[in-house]
């Protein structure tokens, strides 16, 4: 059976930077098949690459700077991160790409999808800004649909 890891990335102490973690926490409240796992990846260091060898697909939930209005939701694949020469899309994509390379060297690299949402503010304060609070239910809903789509394509 193919497996999916849903990883929320971010720091919940930095306002909108924690949106990926908040989304994973919300998704975990629902019932999912046994081949779906969830993890709070925190600020995602390269030390997490060893987790990837157990999964066929990796869905990352993160704050993404794409230059649009706060609350804008993005869907990216690995090629989108690689083609982003300035490495300015996802706040954590450099570590993510390095970790995928390490996983590949270890023998198994999962397929990658990133769902991100444009942050309004990254600052030392807990909780989402009003803009992201309004967009958050849509972000969770789109993440649910993405999980179901990945499972259907296994």
What's the pLDDT tens digit per position in 100-145? 888 888 888 899 999 999 999 999 999 999 999 999 999 999 999 9
Domain count within the chain: 1
Nearest to 7 by CA among 147, 152, 149, 134: 147
Closest CA to 23 of 59, 62, 57, 66: 62
Residue 87 has pLDDT above 50, yes or no: no
Name the residue range of residue 102's domain: 4-152
Write the CATH number for 28: 3.40.50.1450
Rounded to two decimals, what is the model's pTM? 0.92
Read off the pLDDT of residues 6-42 as tens digits, 9 standing for 90 and up: 999 989 999 999 999 999 999 999 999 999 999 998 8
């Amino acid at each position: 059976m193919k497996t999916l890891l849903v990883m929320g990335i971010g720091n919940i102490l930095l306002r909108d930077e924690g949106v990926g973690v908040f989304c994973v926490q919300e998704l975990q409240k629902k019932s999912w098949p046994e081949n779906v796992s969830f993890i709070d990846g925190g600020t995602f260091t390269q030390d997490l690459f060893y987790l990837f060898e157990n999964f066929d697909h990796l869905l990352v939930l993160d704050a993404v700077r794409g230059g649009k209005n706060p609350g804008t939701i993005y869907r990216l694949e690995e090629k989108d991160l690689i083609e982003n020469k300035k490495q300015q899309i996802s706040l954590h994509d450099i570590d993510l790409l390095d970790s995928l390379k390490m996983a590949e060297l270890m023998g198994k690299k999962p397929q990658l999808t990133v769902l991100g949402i444009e942050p309004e503010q990254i600052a030392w304060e807990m909780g989402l800004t009003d803009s992201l609070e309004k967009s958050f239910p849509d972000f969770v809903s789109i993440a649910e649909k993405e999980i179901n789509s990945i499972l259907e394509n296994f």
